[in-house]
Amino acid sequence: MTNAPQFIDLPDYQELPIEEMLRRAQTFSREMQRRRTVREFSSRPVAREVIEHCLQAAASAPSGANLQPWRFVVVTDPATKRKIRLAAEAEERDFYERRAPREWLDVLAVLGTDANKPFLEIAPYLIVVLRTTHEVRPDGSIVKQYYSAESVGIATGLLLTALHVAGLATLTHTPSPMHFLNQILNRPSHERPFLIVVAGYPAPGAKVPAIARKHLEEIVTWHQP
């Protein structure tokens, strides 16, 4: 009976006094309000161990049926970064000049983005997040994935959070389509590129668009039956 459940104690659970709970929730919320997507990076190196810890945090994400359908390819070498930049810029040029519907360009306008993606070469780390559509067991049998997009989205959120808390700047980048990453990174077709997390120090004097977040009243309803 290999699939019979076995249980262990909840690891290191510690209940907090309400004051401490409040303090931590507020401190973390304040920290996360400071996170911004950065598009101007410094080429200053960042210790690999920092990135490893952040990936470990990402890999702690919950996932549908614990299938952990994420893969992370960490790119640091200049030649591969250049290939990714050139391929991404080709897709992005086609997007901005031909494929993008007017309404999409309208909502992008406030960000001031265009088809040029120098950060793909300048930032020290490109973390390519992939989503597996199925897993191939060593015996060749196939395990289908459930809720893989939701699971990888949550893992990516944890990765961005960990990188931010570690004091790094990030950019969530989604050149579309992204099949070129399978080819450049030599990944099988059941690993679908999900997005690229660009990480590093912000460039000195980096600017970000002056955009606002929705107020809680707009996005949260405390349901009353």
Ligand X SMILES: Cc1cc2nc3c(=O)[nH]c(=O)nc-3n(C[C@H](O)[C@H](O)[C@H](O)COP(=O)(O)O)c2cc1C
Where on the chain is the footprint of ligand X (CB under 6 A)?
36-37, 39, 111, 113, 172-174, 195, 208
Q: How far is the CB of 111 from ligand X (least distance, A)?
A: 5
Containing H/E element for 136? strand 134-136
Q: Which of 76, 81, 63 is nearest to 131 (CA)?
A: 63
Pick between residue 46 and residue 197 the one whose CB is nearest to ligand X. Answer: 197
CB of 197 to ligand X, least distance (A): 10
DSSP 95: I
Compare residues 89 and 135 and give the one whose CB is closer to ligand X.
Answer: 89
Instruction: Answer yes or no: are the C-beta atoms of 84 and 181 closer than 8 Å.
Output: yes
User: DSSP class of residue 203?
Assistant: P
Q: Is the dihedral of CA 148, 161, 59, 51 positive or negative?
A: positive
Report how far residue 126's alpha carbon sits from residue 121's, in angstroms, rounded to the nearest whole number: 9
* Nearest-10 Cα torsion for 128, 129, 134, 136: 50
Task: Identify which of residues 74 and 208 has a Cβ nearer to ligand X in the complex.
Answer: 208
Least distance in angstroms from the C-beta of 208 to ligand X: 6
Ranked by CB distance to ligand X, the top (closest) residue is 37
Q: Is 50 exposed, middle or buried (0-12, 13-18, 19+ CB in 10 A)?
A: middle
CA distance 44 to 54: 18
> Nearer to ligand X by C-beta: 64 or 153?
153
Residue 62 CB, nearest distance to ligand X (Å)?
19
State the nearest-atom distance from the C-beta of 153 to ligand X, in Å: 8
